[in-house]
Amino acid sequence: MSGSSDSGATARPGPAARAGAVTAAAEALFDEVTRQAAEACGARIAALSVVESGHQWFKSRGPLGASETTRLLRLCAETIRTRDGVVFADLDADERFASKGDAKGLRFFAGVPIWTSRAGAIGTLSVLDGAPRESTGDTLERLRELAREAARQFDIRLGGQEVLAQGERIAHGDRSPAGMLTEAEYRRLVEQSAVGTYVIQNERFRYANPRLAEILGYDATDLHGAEVAPLVFADDRAGVLARLRGQFLADEQPAHTFRAVRRDGRVVHVEVHETPAQLDGRGALFGTLLDVTERVRAEAQAAERALVDPLTRLPNRIRFLERLETELAQSRRYNRKLAVVHLDLDGFKFVNDTWGHATGDRLLQSLALRLTRGVREVDTIARIGSDEFLILVPDLKQSGDMSTFAQKLLGLMGRPVEVDDRSLQVTASVGVATFPEDGQDAEELLRNADAAMYRAKDNGGNTFELCTPELTALAVERLELQNGMRVALDKDEFVLHYQPLVSLGSGRIVGLEALIRWQHPQRGFLSPATFIPLAEETGLILPLGTWVLKVATAQLKKWIDMGLMLRMSVNFSARQFRERGLVSIVDDALTRSSLEPKHLEVEITESIAMEGAEIVVANLNTLRQMGVGIAIDDFGTGYSSMSYLKSFPVTSLKIDKSFVTDLPTNPADAGIVRAIVEMAHGSRLSVIAEGVETRDQFQLLQKYGCDEMQGYWVSRPLPVEGIEQKLQEEQAFWSQGAAGA
């Protein structure tokens, strides 16, 4: 690590180190900071944006649309420029940030920069609202306090990296290389460090800096010469002591986390980075120690949040299933009954469309609280969808009691709710399945409760249905559809249709998107919406996806052999991208068809990209290294972050049709499309517009520099014969044009 030769100067970590420090802190810290900011300032939305070494993290808590995100990024830039923070009581009063006619845009903004002592300004923390409001005077101060804590966490991580690196050099006798700190300069750095630093020799502290003593609740002089063992408080006491003595296993990292006990008896979680060394000719251990108690607590809270619906604080589907399995085991053992209730709100979409999603969220919170207070303490309520709830009723005396229970639920849901000075009212459709009459396991009970709920909804809503043999038959029909997919693969009942991708510059077909259809022997053609969600749920998407890839690549090779230079786009699901054998499946399809990888493009959604799962990233990188293109489908509708465009090997973006539909009449959509095109081209990505249905849309996309388009204005998805006819017509047209020239 290089540094200044001036006395007392500290070496700054390089870009890679800074990015690593931010990454280490990102998720748990960002979640906690935005949560506290929203609560402390009473804001609808809180956002934290950090830019480091070419990486960008953008975390928003609360609903934030694509157009709002674009404007927020400009506000973040203004916040950094002011250096001290800024408040806009009403953004529409400032022509730079006015909503340009978008009545649902942001109106209130307050933001502060995040300044670190080691890396300067690295981002912003802000709160926002959809209505104008006056600052209470301490809004910025509250934000500054949280921003300082975030900056401190980053500084700690950066400081740990530089102290450890410099200490290793000195401990190994490399005391004053050119451009490095001298031992005296290094000692000053360590004494002032925000990271606990120590040297252990003969199982005693040879040195401990003031920060280490502070973390452990001692004076620095108390630790000099003190035995280390009493400070160790861990489940694997022997293992921790062995590492403290420098006895590392061959494959073990010299960093570990354990629990230390302070002088006052309080236990703290610490993260230790250490390395064996020689000091005065004897073995020693040089280390740095961070107090990660808050981080551990945040991670535990994050794990808990994985089982909880963030809006209502009710259990989610995962926790509900865990509880259901436990209660089923008890019911079987003691010959008890239980019931599963599926409750779906009627008319909730109307509330969202009329009054906005923020009002809809507050309505859901009120109804969730009403449900919680209206059932027994032993009952479990879970929110499993936008307006769907599951209720587990254990230790049921009689199955007939569920009629009374369901009627009670309808009464609870049907009462008006006061939200934002409005009296809102929705009703509910309720389905009930009981054990053991309506199902023997969790899957069967959930399926039958779901079927009963849909029957109640079909009957007009605001009613309930108990599971009956007829409804069980409907659930079985769905199961048969699931089983039918397996048979359909063997009997070649699936077919592919292809939708052209057309160049906006030349007007020629440059590619095709493969779209699956099911030619059911009894029900005729079934659209993907009928069976793809079921395939995803059951895992059948894996063999189905393999079949699509195999057929599409083979067909494209035939067209290429006819002299048509095209590429084939194939949609990949999240389930497929989590498979470790995905690359082998793609490679096999390319090999069998003798198709060059450059002619294949896989389409994934933003949600898949933003998962950031190790296997997803590995699959993306390997496919791109093979030469396969990577397209982000439905771009602009997913997670509020652009970082994956730099992190992942993306080659093209597909603008979601929701931005194209009103392009000629909606300035906000036009601005978003222009911004996406400029951003993509700046990153050397091509841009494809979906859902093009009119000449006006086409002309504007051409004006904005969009590269390609697809939609009904060009062509509907067509079977092989239809595509071949279209390609032949295009060839004839261009041939005539060339002859005429």
Contact 202, 245 (CB under 8 A): no
Domains of the chain with bracketed CATH: 15-159 (3.30.450.40), 195-297 (3.30.450.20), 311-467 (3.30.70.270), 493-740 (3.20.20.450)
pLDDT digits (tens, 9 = 90+) for 110-157: 999 888 765 667 788 998 888 888 765 678 888 888 888 777 766 655
- In 3-state terms, what secondary structure has residue 271? strand
**Predicted local distance difference test score (pLDDT) of residue 477:** 67
Backbone Cα Rg of the chain: 31
**Predicted local distance difference test score (pLDDT) of residue 304:** 74
**Cα separation, 84 vs 61, whole angstroms:** 23
- In 3-state terms, what secondary structure has residue 357? helix
Q: With residue 16 as reference, give the H or E element that holds it.
A: helix 15-41
- In 3-state terms, what secondary structure has residue 98? coil
**Predicted local distance difference test score (pLDDT) of residue 151:** 78
User: Which residue stretches of the chain have pLDDT < 70?
Assistant: 1-29, 51-58, 63-70, 99-105, 117-120, 135-137, 153-187, 189-190, 231-241, 243-255, 302, 353, 399, 471-479, 537, 607, 609-613, 637-644, 734-741
**Cα separation, 162 vs 269, whole angstroms:** 22
**Cα separation, 618 vs 151, whole angstroms:** 31
Q: How many residues does the chain have?
A: 741
**Predicted local distance difference test score (pLDDT) of residue 155:** 62
Contact 586, 623 (CB under 8 A): yes
Residue with tokens 């009493």: 230
Nearest to 397 by CA among 374, 372, 376: 376
Beta-bridge partner residues of 258:
270
Q: What single letter denotes the amino acid at residue 68?
A: E
Look up residue 346 and give its DSSP letter.
E
**Cα separation, 451 vs 446, whole angstroms:** 9
CA atoms within 13 A on the CB side of 237: 7
Look up residue 601 and give its DSSP letter.
E
**Predicted local distance difference test score (pLDDT) of residue 65:** 61
Nearest to 396 by CA among 386, 406, 388: 406
